[in-house]
Structure 1
């Protein structure tokens, strides 16, 4: 087990003798039920000069430590809503080491949220995520209000945050009860995100805290406290933080962006930008050839992965799955995810003990992943399976072709069939040029999302070597899936069955079995050999197959064939090119196009708009094009 991984310990619910919500772990109360709203308004809003400081701003960002029930957030949100001169957007970044389970938070807010906050509290509870480590992005008021929850120990989480913060709410348990939340090292990490003129407020007031704030780059002073407390602390950052400066440098005026590629990567970026008010032109070589990239791709699975050390691939997968569900669940039927669950079978029975140990160490909620034996796996699938494994309740069946077309039809998005040969910077803008050198489109911001084609465009543009040695190793890997008649499977499985290959529930058109991996292919084709492989993989997942299955003839079945763009390490390359400002790429999604699509679209959108990043800095660094 990696020494860097610390399981998340959700909050336990307790009340003290006076009926106040109490933390047994820290021996301290969360809030006084009678004074929570007054404390939030006096200490945190007025202490940070709000609402005046956000007026006339495009966006205003708040960072809170010790989110608890979210009463400070709710008071902030209410004040923002009630202010006709409010900023266009409000972003809140909140650190919480012991988040409540969703059912507990809903019940506690129903009891403890002050009356004026009750409606907003119900909206918060409706979106509250399971207590899983990492970042969770929630959106309210049509996306004008965002809440990025960072679940994990503050000392671990804070160095990973990427934001430009205008105001800080320090609301951890008392320094005497939870001293780690007030350590100078943590305050320095928070100060690194301070925007010019950033302010800070907290109910805590000790000379030691003021000295720590001063050493971290804040000028701190005492002010009159609240609710019988004589004093509180307010502070102002002396200088802009290093991470804030980096975040601010990436901001571009909302305008026009050109996206090259209309597959899962390009569609996710188009959505991420269009929802933020950008005008997006998508250039698609596949349509120029007469067929959209995922036309005929009836179904695919979107399932997270787990790893014993919760490595980067597992963390990215978990974050991507959550972002996909949040972004796509309200799309029209066919494009929206079908949350049917996934039974991920172990390769052999001998690995069951290892899986049990992994899940015990990770301590993820059983509502998200749990171990199942062969009988329970078969009951979940509605048909006999070969082995037990892990059950992911949020495993999703997706229809890629329908999803892509829906995202590309969003207001503000225009799709043009065009083959981009190279790009060129001209007068501060990026031009997309065809093979004859004709301009196809231009914009200040251009994103190459055309899978393995991005490598060729960069090479032809003189932008590949020596700056991007990893991208230079990107290659295309062919593969196919097979569409089986549901009748051959007595209706098909009720949930996704994964393992060595996969078998998906019936979409109405049949059950998809996959997939093949063909190195060195010149074309991505449906073939008898490929169907032999996909049928064999599917049969290996099942406990038994019947006569109708045995009657299936490889080479006679419908299916879909396409390409995967693969980079060393099988992580994507997403971000702005350091040697070509304004030019971005999002490619190398390999077999995880659905997992990365929405997350990377929002990562790029958040960076361009100066929002807190929906992805931790260490993970973003791993996928930075290089």
Structure 2
């Protein structure tokens, strides 16, 4: 992460009224008199909320804000939305999606001090403080509250650089704008024509705008972008403020709240997607080909959760860093609901057990990632962290750990059933075809659905509609080794050219050691030679004194799984291309312009890192299906686009399909 990509916290002080003041802009974050009342007047009332929530034709209503600051506008909106939902309306908006931009985020300490001004918001403020990012990573931080009924996308970075990276749906993504931020005279860098143009680009037909300022440059900028602009009385002693709107279409946005989504698969990707879609208001049918969930690649006892960072901090690192942040938040929420998901937030050490790993970790560390994400530690510190003798320096991921992916799947499956969704076992889909605007799924019976997600792991390209997705199968064998007095001291996950997990004494009283990586072996049987490969790799990484002798001599248990992978290390997440239409496109076609098969999506190729990337991938699919804001930039959306391989061939004028 280069220095120009770093995000710095706000430089502020609290004035005599206890109001936070930004020193760089010499302006207050909210009114000295009554900041909450001002927010309710300028932003909620001027945008005609919550009456518009009651009349909204879709499940989700999206507010976008141009300066997050203390989060006061978000908290006020959340409280108002809670009051609206408490009235029990079955119609209207059922989810509040709040997008906000911030160049200089507050620390959680300053956030809490600012929130102390508003005791009526304490219940909401504490939840925000608990989830608020401590790593100020450029890009989107998605936080979810109230069982998914409230979603906050906090985009960190300069708004005029970040906003153009937001993906846009065909009809826009924003229903109402809170045009906030320090006054134009104090912060002229933000109030530029490019800002107003981007606001218009992202606005739905009928979107409204409200702002505290009546400055001429703001009114002219909004009008030039395409909004209809007016003035109205300002708050308190302020004479005027500005409101605006984008003209509505005669054709209203389609109501998609009652459409059923069929999800094909029974592993982590399928279950996480089902959970996200159900929380977003969709009715889910989960079709598992096996007699229970997580019998394929998601069936390992323990899987490591940590980000994939690369020596070149490009899109791969960006994707997995964001995925890791989101996964940590999501799994904390899931494990707070149940004690059935076995896991440990124990940290992870990636040992410099050879020269290549040492060079790689040094290069990664040179990009100044936060110490809460990754640290370089010497052998003594690694030994202290691990609880066993480590002869190598290492990269340490303090917030990493391990999870049982099958436990996550089984909990979500039961949760879906308890909440009125349909989970079917031993239900293999043999064919997918299009008929009169619906997808027909043929198996034991025929199911029809407007929206279908293929999340079937290595079988995801096994249908005619998905046949051109270049998903490969890689065999992996994990060895299960018993706990000894010696190995019981291990406190962290250890990675090298393989991995070793700490034991969960309440679960299996053993360790997982792995894993092999074979593209050419299709055997489902446990192989002693693969156990020896796992053991030899561990022996090369750890000293003889750290390895129990029993592991070398005793017979081993284990598990074989087949990972779905793609050659560029990204998964495939999104709409499946319309293969026949692609053949007719010019070479100048943009990736986002590829025609796709309406209502048909895929999430696959998560490889050995599905625990990390699964939640973000599921959020991306949910955003497509629910027509809401995506949780990541257009560049990262393109990086996982299922059509990227055929598009690259199109650009190079090569045969489109193998």
TM-score (norm 1): 0.89
- Answer yes or no: is 1:617 the counterpart of 2:614: no
**Pairing partner for 1:496 from 487, 493, 500:** 493
Deviations 1:294-331 (A, max 9, x none): 58621110101334553222222122223323333333
Q: Go from structure 1 to structure 2 and tell me whether the alpha carbon gap of 1:545 and 1:152 turns closer, same or farther (over 3 Å shift).
A: farther
Q: Secondary structure at the match of 1:139?
A: strand
Which sits farther off after the overlay, 375-384 or 352-361? 352-361
Q: Go from structure 1 to structure 2 and tell me whether the alpha carbon gap of 1:98 and 1:363 turns closer, same or farther (over 3 Å shift).
A: farther
Q: Secondary structure at the match of 1:257?
A: strand
- Answer yes or no: is 1:586 the counterpart of 2:600: no
Which residue of the partner structure matches residue 312 of structure 1? Answer: 315
- Answer yes or no: is 1:152 the counterpart of 2:132: no
Which residue of the partner structure matches residue 344 of structure 2? Answer: 338
> What pairs up with 1:134-283 in 2 under 5 angstroms?
134-162=139-167, 164-238=173-247, 252-283=256-287
Distance 1:93 1:291 in 2: 34
Q: Secondary structure at the match of 1:569?
A: coil
Deviations 1:172-212 (A, max 9, x none): 22223322221111221222111111111111222112121
Distance 2:237 2:114 in 1: 25
- Answer yes or no: is 1:527 the counterpart of 2:527: yes
Distance 1:157 1:537 in 2: 43
- Answer yes or no: is 1:325 the counterpart of 2:328: yes
Distance 2:44 2:427 in 1: 51
Number of residue equivalences = 601
Distance 2:83 2:299 in 1: 49
Distance 2:319 2:425 in 1: 31
Distance 1:25 1:499 in 2: 45
Q: Secondary structure at the match of 1:532?
A: helix
Q: Go from structure 1 to structure 2 and tell me whether the alpha carbon gap of 1:526 and 1:354 turns closer, same or farther (over 3 Å shift).
A: closer
Which sits farther off after the overlay, 279-288 or 445-454? 279-288
Contact persistence 2:482–2:551 (CA under 8 A): no
**Pairing partner for 2:306 from 278, 285, 303:** 303
Deviations 1:203-249 (A, max 9, x none): 12221121211121212223222243332221112467xxxx9xx68
Q: Go from structure 1 to structure 2 and tell me whether the alpha carbon gap of 1:201 and 1:544 turns closer, same or farther (over 3 Å shift).
A: farther
Distance 1:543 1:188 in 2: 61
Q: Go from structure 1 to structure 2 and tell me whether the alpha carbon gap of 1:60 and 1:391 turns closer, same or farther (over 3 Å shift).
A: same
Q: Go from structure 1 to structure 2 and tell me whether the alpha carbon gap of 1:170 and 1:277 turns closer, same or farther (over 3 Å shift).
A: closer
- Answer yes or no: is 1:536 the counterpart of 2:533: no
Which residue of the partner structure matches residue 412 of structure 2? Answer: 407
What root-mean-square deviation, in Å, do the aligned CA atoms of Structure 1 and Structure 2 show?
A: 2.7
Distance 2:311 2:184 in 1: 34
Q: Go from structure 1 to structure 2 and tell me whether the alpha carbon gap of 1:270 and 1:375 turns closer, same or farther (over 3 Å shift).
A: same
Q: Go from structure 1 to structure 2 and tell me whether the alpha carbon gap of 1:145 and 1:530 turns closer, same or farther (over 3 Å shift).
A: same
Distance 1:257 1:92 in 2: 24
> What pairs up with 1:443-454 in 2 under 5 angstroms?
443-454=449-460
Contact persistence 1:449–1:587 (CA under 8 A): yes
Contact persistence 2:340–2:411 (CA under 8 A): no
Deviations 1:116-166 (A, max 9, x none): 223322222122222222322222333222212112221232123246111
Which residue of the partner structure matches residue 461 of structure 2? Answer: 455
Deviation at 1:409, TM superposition (A): 2.0
Distance 2:81 2:491 in 1: 45
Contact persistence 1:348–1:387 (CA under 8 A): no
Q: Go from structure 1 to structure 2 and tell me whether the alpha carbon gap of 1:33 and 1:356 turns closer, same or farther (over 3 Å shift).
A: farther
Which residue of the partner structure matches residue 398 of structure 2? Answer: 393
Q: Secondary structure at the match of 2:280?
A: coil
Deviation at 1:30, TM superposition (A): 1.3
Deviation at 1:423, TM superposition (A): 1.0
Which sits farther off after the overlay, 551-560 or 481-490? 551-560
Distance 1:372 1:179 in 2: 44
- Answer yes or no: is 1:60 the counterpart of 2:66: no
Distance 1:14 1:537 in 2: 54
Which residue of the partner structure matches residue 102 of structure 1? Answer: 108
Distance 2:512 2:237 in 1: 65
Distance 1:104 1:387 in 2: 39
Deviations 1:84-117 (A, max 9, x none): 367322211111112123333223323xx32322
Distance 1:349 1:566 in 2: 26
Q: Secondary structure at the match of 2:488?
A: coil
Distance 1:142 1:386 in 2: 45
- Answer yes or no: is 1:114 the counterpart of 2:118: yes
Distance 1:351 1:284 in 2: 39
Distance 2:577 2:307 in 1: 31
Contact persistence 1:539–1:545 (CA under 8 A): no
Distance 2:357 2:407 in 1: 37
Distance 1:132 1:497 in 2: 26
Q: Go from structure 1 to structure 2 and tell me whether the alpha carbon gap of 1:354 and 1:479 turns closer, same or farther (over 3 Å shift).
A: closer
Q: Secondary structure at the match of 1:98?
A: coil
Which residue of the partner structure matches residue 517 of structure 1? Answer: 517
Q: Secondary structure at the match of 1:179?
A: coil
Which residue of the partner structure matches residue 71 of structure 1? Answer: 72
Distance 2:356 2:406 in 1: 38
Which residue of the partner structure matches residue 98 of structure 2? Answer: 92
Deviation at 1:2, TM superposition (A): 6.8
Distance 1:357 1:176 in 2: 42
Which residue of the partner structure matches residue 576 of structure 2? Answer: 577
Q: Secondary structure at the match of 2:76?
A: helix
Which residue of the partner structure matches residue 593 of structure 2? Answer: none
Which residue of the partner structure matches residue 379 of structure 1? Answer: 384
Q: Secondary structure at the match of 2:376?
A: strand
Structure 2 unaligned segments of length 5 or more: list them: 579-596, 644-658
- Answer yes or no: is 1:129 the counterpart of 2:133: yes
Q: Secondary structure at the match of 2:534?
A: helix
Contact persistence 2:207–2:245 (CA under 8 A): yes
Which residue of the partner structure matches residue 42 of structure 2? Answer: 43
Contact persistence 2:286–2:424 (CA under 8 A): yes
Deviation at 1:36, TM superposition (A): 0.8
Which sits farther off after the overlay, 279-288 or 424-433? 279-288
Q: Go from structure 1 to structure 2 and tell me whether the alpha carbon gap of 1:46 and 1:276 turns closer, same or farther (over 3 Å shift).
A: closer
Which residue of the partner structure matches residue 361 of structure 1? Answer: 367
Deviation at 1:439, TM superposition (A): 4.0
Deviations 1:383-402 (A, max 9, x none): 12232232222212111222
Which sits farther off after the overlay, 345-354 or 374-383? 345-354
Deviation at 1:353, TM superposition (A): 8.0
Q: Go from structure 1 to structure 2 and tell me whether the alpha carbon gap of 1:305 and 1:292 turns closer, same or farther (over 3 Å shift).
A: closer
Deviation at 1:19, TM superposition (A): 4.2
Deviation at 1:492, TM superposition (A): 4.5
Contact persistence 1:217–1:239 (CA under 8 A): no
Q: Go from structure 1 to structure 2 and tell me whether the alpha carbon gap of 1:280 and 1:50 turns closer, same or farther (over 3 Å shift).
A: closer
